[in-house]
């Protein structure tokens, strides 16, 4: 895929974000916990979600699209515990199937997951949690085998508040009668959204500061649930308004974006919060000051917004510091931004940035979902034309139509598909003449 971004456009208007990809993936995985029909609403039509749907169907579920964004999921045949390697390796969240499949069919087998190349993806906390619940685990080559053995509730402390491990333990414990306690769990909005679904399905979950309690049940039931808005997509559009200049309102959940909103305000960008929307007003590059951003687990600054924020800070007044504490390899976009004229020096997990008056369009490469978004935003604010090459289709894994949505705000972005269509029209017009 290729995006051609014409720079120098201000953005104006309103936009409503889709459901959260990072919430929809564990919610879809949780449908494995029941044979009943689970109706999920506001599901985003993005590549990662389509991969998860294919994974569910490969192990025995039937997924039907009732209308745009509305999916019905129920068991169609006896579940199997071994989804195809080719699908598992495409998606980091595929590892979330290990515990639920084991709890349902007695055993499961998955290779290590795939996804964006932004750092090592240890699954030790997933395995620690499953083992504490009584699972028998075995590593055979690249595969992890999980056998139910004698599952039981447990008290589990996570050394790090891993989102995936928290979700893995929650889902598995939901099918184990008795009380499981997770201390130091992830507290992300997506984790809480999964908790709300599991409660509707019949599990008892209590969220406390630093603790999650799960009262499991022998059987869970079907239900209907609406996916929360995507805070990362919302943040991306807010940063777009800030870096390009203009007046952009994003309909979302402001409470999920407090770390970003406070940082934008700190930089001197006008931020107006409402009950279900946020407005950003900016004069574009050079109108805001630099600052310090440190990506940390929620409620800290989201690592998934760090690349977009680095693009913003590259055209801020003065110096900025960006530190990444979640993914050790999430700085590939810094090199690409430097190709556009950004002044960035990397020192381990820290990026030192000296703001420039303007970036210049050139050819850059999207190395992951968020890097692709960041480079697209940088292209909107840059002088000239920026070509964002996305050979592995990263952007589409996390955004339904990034170019189209930004264009509706006033950007000028042409996707490779649109270019191909225009070329075909031109050929057809020439032949007719």
Q: Look at strands 270-273 and 246-251 and give their pairing.
A: unpaired
- Burial state string for 253-277 with b = 16 or more CB within 10 A and e = fewer than 16: bbebbebbbebbeebebbbeeeeeb
Distance from the Cα of residue 85 to its chain's centroid = 22
Q: Which of 28, 63, 116, 257 is flagged as catalytic? A: 116
Residue 232 CB partners (closer than 8 Å, separation 6+): 20, 21, 22, 302, 304, 305, 370, 398
Active site includes 252? no
**Distance between CA 41 and CA 81 in Å, rounded?**
26
Decide if 333 contacts 371 (C-beta within 8 A): yes
81 DSSP 8-state letter: S
Decide if 71 contacts 143 (C-beta within 8 A): no
389-393, Cβ contacts within 8 angstroms, sequence gap of 24 or more? 389/1, 389/2, 389/363, 389/364, 389/365, 390/1, 390/2, 390/3, 390/365, 390/366, 391/1, 391/365, 392/366, 393/1, 393/47
**Distance between CA 334 and CA 314 in Å, rounded?**
10
**Distance between CA 318 and CA 320 in Å, rounded?**
7
410 DSSP 8-state letter: T
301 DSSP 8-state letter: B
Decide if 36 contacts 9 (C-beta within 8 A): no
Q: Look at strands 223-226 and 38-41 and give their pairing.
A: parallel
Decide if 358 contacts 383 (C-beta within 8 A): yes
Decide if 69 contacts 27 (C-beta within 8 A): no
Gyration radius of the chain over CA positions: 22
Query: Which residues have a catalytic role annotated?
Result: 116
């Amino acid at each position: 895929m290729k995006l051609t971004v014409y720079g120098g456009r201000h953005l104006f208007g309103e936009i409503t974000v889709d459901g959260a990809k990072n919430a929809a993936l564990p919610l879809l995985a949780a449908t494995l916990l029941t044979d009943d029909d689970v109706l999920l609403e506001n599901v985003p039509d993005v590549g990662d979600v389509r991969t998860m749907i294919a994974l569910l169907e490969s192990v025995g579920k039937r997924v039907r699209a009732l209308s745009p964004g509305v999916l019905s999921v129920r068991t169609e045949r006896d579940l199997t515990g071994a989804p195809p390697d080719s699908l598992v390796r495409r998606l980091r969240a595929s590892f979330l199937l290990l515990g639920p499949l084991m709890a349902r069919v007695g055993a499961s087998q998955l290779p290590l997951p795939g996804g964006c190349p932004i750092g090592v993806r240890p699954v030790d906390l997933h395995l620690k949690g499953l083992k504490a619940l009584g699972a028998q685990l075995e590593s055979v080559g690249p595969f992890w085998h999980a056998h139910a053995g004698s599952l039981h509730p447990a008290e589990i402390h996570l050394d790090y508040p891993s989102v995936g491990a928290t979700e893995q333990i929650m889902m598995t414990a939901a099918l184990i009668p008795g009380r499981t306690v997770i201390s130091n769990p992830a507290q992300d909005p997506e984790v809480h959204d999964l908790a709300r679904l599991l409660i509707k399905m019949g599990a008892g979950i209590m969220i406390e500061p630093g603790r999650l309690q799960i009262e499991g049940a022998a059987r869970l039931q079907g239900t209907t649930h609406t996916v929360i808005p995507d805070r990362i997509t919302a943040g991306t559009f807010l940063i777009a308004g800030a870096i390009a200049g203009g007046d952009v309102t994003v309909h979302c959940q402001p409470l999920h974006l407090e770390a970003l909103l406070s940082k934008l305000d700190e930089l001197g960008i006008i931020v107006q919060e409402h009950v279900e929307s946020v407005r950003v007003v900016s004069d574009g590059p050079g109108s805001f000051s630099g600052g310090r951003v440190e990506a940390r687990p929620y409620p800290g600054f989201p690592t998934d917004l760090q690349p977009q924020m680095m693009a913003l800070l590259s055209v801020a007044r003065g110096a900025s510091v960006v530190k990444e504490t979640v993914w050790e390899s999430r700085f590939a976009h810094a090199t690409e931004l430097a190709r556009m004229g950004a002044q960035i020096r990397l020192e381990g997990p820290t990026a030192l940035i000296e703001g420039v008056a303007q970036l210049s369009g050139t050819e850059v490469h999207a190395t992951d979902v968020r890097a692709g978004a960041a480079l697209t935003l940088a292209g909107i604010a840059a002088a000239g034309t920026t070509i964002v090459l996305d050979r592995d289709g990263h952007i589409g894994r996390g955004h339904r139509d990034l170019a189209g949505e930004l264009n509706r705000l006033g950007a000028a972005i042409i996707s490779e598909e649109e270019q191909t269509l225009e070329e075909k029209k031109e050929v057809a017009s020439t032949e007719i003449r």
